[in-house]
């Protein structure tokens, strides 16, 4: 029985295109790279450079989900990021000594939400529609929760719902709390939402409400709507954990006082390197560590570095990644740079590039003679078709041109046409196959029971391109799950055939393809894209053979987003990417939908193992038609 590795993420669909849109919006609004995820409550995790939209918006109409999530994004990035006064909030919370601290914290943030929404709408009127949907949806939610909390006698949570409804519906609504509650006083305090102009005033109003409620409730608020509680002690944490690299002057270290906003506090962590420019090595403020970088703009310049060089941030030296494969035969094993330049999801990836060992036993090589004999008609037919296509294009006659050779049959157009075009040209004498191919092969553990058919498909790919004299590179990629940690995720690229191997037969190395642990698809796509961009050929094509979705350390939902981003990046650089989903069962609708989200229309599912070679040929045919239409 084959191993099924397709994970449904708790039956919740993840649209990587939508998530990429949110990340790019957040990055634009905050002016630094942000990852976007979903959690129970709104949340900023600045050390991880992550913001969380609320799962509250799931399972609603498509329009409500879209506008609701956008309202979360606007509030977190255009509001709390730059206009939420951290020091005033911390001091205000510290001044309250009553029995309802969680209520005060959450209510102060609700007042801030109302204040910031008004500010954002004034500055950006285009956000009003999203905030109207937000208010209408939450109003209905608080009505339902109010009834449920009253039935369970959770008076403090019911009071929260009632106060929200007072705030959005006005104080004329009929109270639902017991008559013993000071309704008039609560309503007067809620009306302050229209006059609050600072975080300090928000905390004051929240403390006033808590003071009124204390005699009437016996417990603190149970629900959590904003996960900003950690910011109460962020100043102390920053002071304890912040370390300075050697060579920083006292002035560069910044001050230790509390920062006024999230943006100020975040920027203070990177003040030492924010002015560096040029092509950089990713540089940690924590001297001597290999932990995740705190910012895309925390970079150390390196004299003489060029855009096609990736360096490894270790004291043991570095190797030019783009030259690594060419020197494999001499060096045996090459360590290359990490993934700091490939997005937050790959910030701690390290790469080992090494040649695939050659199989020497007759038992391992015997199937290749049989496979080549069986696939020879397919290879011959394909090569013949491509040669005929190129010959036809070379001799094709293009007519109706404004310059070129004079076409005697079109001389009449000189008299009859306003803009005559009586010239023609023969086909371009350019190189017939000005193309280069890269092949990535998923080396994860789930490929174990698919190795023979995978090798057969790779052999067909290799034989076709050898016959057509097209340079190509074939790589098996994997991640070592046993060694992966939060600080380092070791990835390996095993080179079966490099661009410079020419017509050398790679069958002995193809025979040694093995299954390993995990697959970090987005990183592999980025790495091979950069390899293809070093080539002089006009057309660059990348094929990916994989039997499932990305699966690696801390590479779940963000792995899907990272893979989609890598695909879009390849497209921006004019690298044509094709994906072959290797499976031995009929793909489900969810599987097909996911791969279409990741790879667009250039994804093919081969649901029978004996069809993998034919599907490989089909992808090659599509690729060559793009090159020679």
Other CB atoms within a 10 A radius of the CB of residue 415 amount to 7
Q: What is the spatial distance between Cα 96 and Cα 88, in angstroms, rounded to a whole number?
A: 13
Average pLDDT in the 16-34 region?
Answer: 88
Render pLDDT for 141-181 as a digit per residue (tens, 0 to 9).
999 999 999 999 999 999 999 999 999 998 778 889 999 99
Least Cα distance to 263 among 118, 124, 22, 79 occurs for: 79
Give residue 300's pLDDT. Answer: 44
Same domain, 206 and 85: yes
Q: What is the spatial distance between Cα 627 and Cα 563, in angstroms, rounded to a whole number?
A: 25
- Domain end, chosen from 163, 196, 229, is at 229
Q: Domain span at residue 417?
A: 396-426
Same domain, 385 and 411: no
Inform me whether the pLDDT recorded for 311 exceeds 50: no
- Domain end, chosen from 186, 207, 229, is at 229
Render pLDDT for 516-567 as a digit per residue (tens, 0 to 9).
999 999 999 999 999 999 999 999 999 999 988 899 998 988 889 899 999 9
Domain membership flag for residue 278 = no
Same domain, 105 and 182: yes
**Between 332 and 71, where is the model more confident?**
71
pLDDT classification of 15: cutoffs 50, 70, 90:
confident
Render pLDDT for 603-613 as a digit per residue (tens, 0 to 9).
988 877 778 88
User: What mean pLDDT, rounded, does the chain reach?
Assistant: 80
Structure tokens at 564: 């989609």
Domain membership flag for residue 451 = yes
Q: Which of 17-26, 319-328, 450-459 has the lowest mean pLDDT?
A: 319-328
**Between 46 and 458, where is the model more confident?**
458
Give residue 266's pLDDT. Answer: 66
Q: What is the CATH number of the domain that holds 613?
A: 3.40.50.410
Inform me whether the pLDDT recorded for 5 exceeds 80: no
Average pLDDT in the 392-406 region?
Answer: 60
Q: Which of 233-237, 396-400, 451-455 has the lowest mean pLDDT?
A: 233-237
Q: Which residue has the tokens 């002057």?
A: 249
Same domain, 530 and 408: no
Inform me whether the pLDDT recorded for 594 exceeds 50: yes
Render pLDDT for 256-296 as a digit per residue (tens, 0 to 9).
444 577 677 666 654 433 443 333 333 333 333 333 333 33
Inform me whether the pLDDT recorded for 7 exceeds 50: no
Same domain, 79 and 50: yes
Same domain, 437 and 579: yes
Q: What is the spatial distance between Cα 480 and Cα 212, in angstroms, rounded to a whole number?
A: 58
Inform me whether the pLDDT recorded for 442 exceeds 70: yes
106-109 long-range contacts (CB < 8 A, ≥24 apart) are: 106/160, 106/221, 106/223, 106/224, 106/225, 106/226, 107/160, 107/163, 107/205, 107/206, 107/209, 107/210, 108/199, 108/202, 108/203, 108/205, 108/206, 109/202, 109/225, 109/226, 109/228
pLDDT classification of 231: cutoffs 50, 70, 90:
low
pLDDT classification of 103: cutoffs 50, 70, 90:
very high
Same domain, 466 and 538: yes
Average pLDDT in the 61-82 region?
Answer: 94
Domain membership flag for residue 495 = yes
Domain membership flag for residue 234 = no
pLDDT classification of 48: cutoffs 50, 70, 90:
confident
Inform me whether the pLDDT recorded for 328 exceeds 50: no
Give residue 549's pLDDT. Answer: 86
Same domain, 411 and 532: no
Domain membership flag for residue 340 = no
**Radius of gyration of the CA atoms of the chain, in A:** 31
Give residue 584's pLDDT. Answer: 78
Give residue 236's pLDDT. Answer: 43
Inform me whether the pLDDT recorded for 29 exceeds 70: yes
**Between 421 and 620, where is the model more confident?**
620
Give residue 281's pLDDT. Answer: 31
Give residue 102's pLDDT. Answer: 94
Q: Which of 185-189, 339-343, 497-501, 502-506 has the lowest mean pLDDT?
A: 339-343
Inform me whether the pLDDT recorded for 95 exceeds 80: yes
Same domain, 460 and 442: yes
DSSP 239-270: HHH----TT--TGGG---SPPSSHHHHHHHTT
pLDDT classification of 33: cutoffs 50, 70, 90:
confident
Same domain, 415 and 373: no
Domain membership flag for residue 1 = no
- Per the structure, the count of domains in the chain is 3
- Domain end, chosen from 229, 256, 289, is at 229
Least Cα distance to 83 among 60, 116, 113 occurs for: 116
Same domain, 87 and 128: yes
Same domain, 38 and 116: yes
Q: Which of 317-326, 340-349, 577-586 has the lowest mean pLDDT?
A: 317-326
Percent of the chain exceeding pLDDT 90 equals 51
Domain membership flag for residue 500 = yes
Average pLDDT in the 110-115 region?
Answer: 96
pLDDT classification of 250: cutoffs 50, 70, 90:
very low
Domain membership flag for residue 599 = yes
Give residue 171's pLDDT. Answer: 76
């Amino acid at each position: 029985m084959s191993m099924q590795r397709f994970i449904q993420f708790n039956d919740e669909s993840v649209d990587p295109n939508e998530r990429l849109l949110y990340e790019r919006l957040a990055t634009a609004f905050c002016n630094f790279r942000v990852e976007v995820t979903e959690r129970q409550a709104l949340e900023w995790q600045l050390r991880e450079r992550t913001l969380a939209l609320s799962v509250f918006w799931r399972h609603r109409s498509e329009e409500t989900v879209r506008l609701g999530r956008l309202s979360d994004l606007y509030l977190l990035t255009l509001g709390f990021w730059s206009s939420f006064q951290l020091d005033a909030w911390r001091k205000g919370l510290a001044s309250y000594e009553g029995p309802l601290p969680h209520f005060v914290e959450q209510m102060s943030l609700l007042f801030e939400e109302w204040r910031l929404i008004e500010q954002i709408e004034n500055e950006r009127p285009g956000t009003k529609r999203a905030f109207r949907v937000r208010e209408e949806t939450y109003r209905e939610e608080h009505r339902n929760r109010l009834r449920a909390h009253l039935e369970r006698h959770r008076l403090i949570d019911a009071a929260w719902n009632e106060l929200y409804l007072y705030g959005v519906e006005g104080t004329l609504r009929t109270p639902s709390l017991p008559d013993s509650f000071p309704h008039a006083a609560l309503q007067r305090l809620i009306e302050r939402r229209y006059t609050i102009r600072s975080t300090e005033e928000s905390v004051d109003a929240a403390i006033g409400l808590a003071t009124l409620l204390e005699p009437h409730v016996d417990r603190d608020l149970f629900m959590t709507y904003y996960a900003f509680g950690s910011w109460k002690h962020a100043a102390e944490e920053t002071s304890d954990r912040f370390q300075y690299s050697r060579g920083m002057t006292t002035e560069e270290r910044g001050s230790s006082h509390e920062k006024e906003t999230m943006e100020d506090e975040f920027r203070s962590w990177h003040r030492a390197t924010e002015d560096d420019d040029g092509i950089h090595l990713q540089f940690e403020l924590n001297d001597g560590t290999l932990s995740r970088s705190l910012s895309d703009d925390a970079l150390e310049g390196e004299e003489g570095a060029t855009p096609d060089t990736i360096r490894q941030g270790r004291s043991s030296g570095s190797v030019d990644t783009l030259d690594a494969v060419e020197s494999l035969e001499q060096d045996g094993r090459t360590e290359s740079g990490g993934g700091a330049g490939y997005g937050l999801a790959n910030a701690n990836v390290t790469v080992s590039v090494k040649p695939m060992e050659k199989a020497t036993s007759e038992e391992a090589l015997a199937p290749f003679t049989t496979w080549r004999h069986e696939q020879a008609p397919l290879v011959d037919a394909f090569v013949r078709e491509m040669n005929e296509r190129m010959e036809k294009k070379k001799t094709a006659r293009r007519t109706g041109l404004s310059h070129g050779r004079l076409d005697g049959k079109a001389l009449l157009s000189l008299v009859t046409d306003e803009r005559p075009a009586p010239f023609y040209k023969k086909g371009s004498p350019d190189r017939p196959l000005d193309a280069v191919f890269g092949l990535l092969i998923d080396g994860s553990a789930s490929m174990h029971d698919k190795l023979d058919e995978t090798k057969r498909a790779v052999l067909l790919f290799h034989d076709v391109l050898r016959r057509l004299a097209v340079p190509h590179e074939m790589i098996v990629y994997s991640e070592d799950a046993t060694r992966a940690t939060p600080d380092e995720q070791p990835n390996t690229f095993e080179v079966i055939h490099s661009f410079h191997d020419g017509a050398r037969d790679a069958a002995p190395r193809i025979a040694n393809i093995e299954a390993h642990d995990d697959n970090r698809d987005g990183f592999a796509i980025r790495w091979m894209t950069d390899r293809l961009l070093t080539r002089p050929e006009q057309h660059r094509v990348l094929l990916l053979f994989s039997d499932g979705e990305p699966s690696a350390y801390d590479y779940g939902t963000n792995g899907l987003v990272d893979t989609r981003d890598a695909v879009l990046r390849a497209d921006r650089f004019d690298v044509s990417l094709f994906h072959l989903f290797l499976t031995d069962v009929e793909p489900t609708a969810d599987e097909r939908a996911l791969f279409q989200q990741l790879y667009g229309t250039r994804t093919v599912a081969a649901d029978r193992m004996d069809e993998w070679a034919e599907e490989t040929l089909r992808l090659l045919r599509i690729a060559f038609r793009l090159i020679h239409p």
